[in-house]
């Protein structure tokens, strides 16, 4: 079956530091890949997505590239802000249209 | 669009009581999902509907949990009787076929 593995958190960074959150997946076929973000007290919201190999999703300064050869979709941001503190979820969706989520990675950014 | 609407936002109840959580999906979406989120188990898919029909309820933890979708604009998740281990945040989400999944703000349930 499908599965998503994310790096354990929390990830703690200072403001303006570079962020990488690793995500690898197992799936049959060619799934779509997603990053969702959950701010405190809120539901998950889509941050970015990529639907085929080598696609790069980007939004709000975050980027992730669909790497089929390494089955990865790592999330990056060049300069994080305190307001980026949240939990980040990697997810995939195959032919069934039902997403599979990772466990989530908490990001804490200090001023 | 108002997005996915859930009520109540917070629920505190005593063990043994019945709890009903409500969800209004985004108009036009034909998929509806119920999730549970806890620190220990992360985000778990409980059940999902397609065109108001339950498709997969294998994530429902036990018979105390039930979900209904009587029409395209309303769904309920009921726990009867509730237990302290049911304490969690319950999310409803909706999507169109192949589309982005949109989450509601969640209901934080505390069972004493």
| B93 contacts in chain A (CB < 8 Å) | 43-44
Res B59: pLDDT: 92
pLDDT digits (tens, 9 = 90+) for A36-78: 999 998 999 999 999 999 999 999 999 999 999 999 999 999 9
Higher-confidence residue of A95 and B83: namely B83
Name the residue among A45, A103, A104 with its Cβ closest to that of B103.
A45
Dihedral sign for Cα B81, B85, B90, B96, please: negative
Name the residue among A42, A89, A97 with its Cβ closest to that of B97.
A97
Q: State the Cα–Cα distance between residues B45 and B58, nearest whole angstrom.
A: 9
Decide if B33 contacts B94 (C-beta within 8 A). Answer: yes
Res B1: pLDDT: 64
Res A30: pLDDT: 86
Identify which of A64, A109, A62 has the alpha carbon closest to the alpha carbon of residue A82.
A109
pLDDT digits (tens, 9 = 90+) for B8-39: 999 999 999 999 999 999 999 999 999 999 98
Yes or no, beta carbons of B43 and A98 under 8 Å apart: no
């Amino acid at each position: 079956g499908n599965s998503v593995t994310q790096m354990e958190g929390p990830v703690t960074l200072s403001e303006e530091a570079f962020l990488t959150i690793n995500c690898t997946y197992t799936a049959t076929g060619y799934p779509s890949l997603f990053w969702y973000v959950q701010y405190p007290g809120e539901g998950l919201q889509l941050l970015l997505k990529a639907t085929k190999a080598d696609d790069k999703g980007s939004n709000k300064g975050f980027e992730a590239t669909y790497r089929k050869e390494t089955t990865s979709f790592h999330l990056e941001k060049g300069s994080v802000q305190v307001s980026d503190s949240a939990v980040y979820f990697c997810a995939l969706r195959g032919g069934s249209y039902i997403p599979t989520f990772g466990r989530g990675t908490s990001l804490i950014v200090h001023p | 669009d108002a997005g996915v609407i859930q009520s109540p936002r917070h629920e505190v109840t005593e063990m043994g009581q019945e709890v009903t959580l409500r969800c209004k999906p985004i108009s036009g979406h034909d998929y509806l999902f119920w999730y549970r989120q806890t620190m220990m188990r992360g985000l778990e898919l409980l059940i999902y509907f397609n065109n108001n029909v339950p498709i997969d309820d294998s994530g429902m933890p036990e018979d105390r949990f039930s979900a209904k979708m009587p029409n395209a604009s309303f769904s309920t998740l009921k726990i009867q009787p509730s237990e302290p281990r049911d304490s969690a945040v319950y999310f409803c989400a909706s999507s169109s076929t192949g589309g982005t999944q949109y989450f509601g703000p969640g209901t934080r349930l505390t069972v004493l």
